[in-house]
Structure 1
């Protein structure tokens, strides 16, 4: 049983997401997220699963006062959403993004 006494609504959202998504394999996390977006956000179905998953994720975890009813966003929110993004989106996309940031911060030198 979850003990959510004294937790803010922001903390509750992250706890519930963790309890739902962490035990699942990456593929199932993405499928659950897509189904959720289809029902709640009325997201159209795309042919390219990766693009659809990224759009869905962006709408849920947007840093510009959208997603989760525009709850107050700060450092904790940004770090948590980045963690969930790494847990849910396809590995090739995430690894490519990490590699790009590493190369960019190093001035393109290997």
Structure 2
């Protein structure tokens, strides 16, 4: 496999992932972004934790979808995420009319 073949394969995987995201984003209420991953979820619980002067965040996401090109199963019932950096959580606007 050449470097070009590998690059084309990875590009196709990313395009497929984007298409899946576009198809499922309307099913979720929140977008969650950490330093390592991007999630869609219907429920998000965030707890700030302190340990020896360090602050970290513990997130529990339920009914979630994980943006990860290498995961075979991106839909998950529950996810627990621990992160030491900022977390960005946005509530998605509900669409009144679904455009095909």
Name the TM-score class by shorter chain. Answer: under 0.3
Larger radius of gyration, structure 1 or 2? 2
Which of the pair has the greater relative contact order for Cα pairs under 8 Å at 6+ separation?
2
The TM-score with structure 1 as length reference comes to 0.24
Higher fraction of strand: 2
The TM-score with structure 2 as length reference comes to 0.25
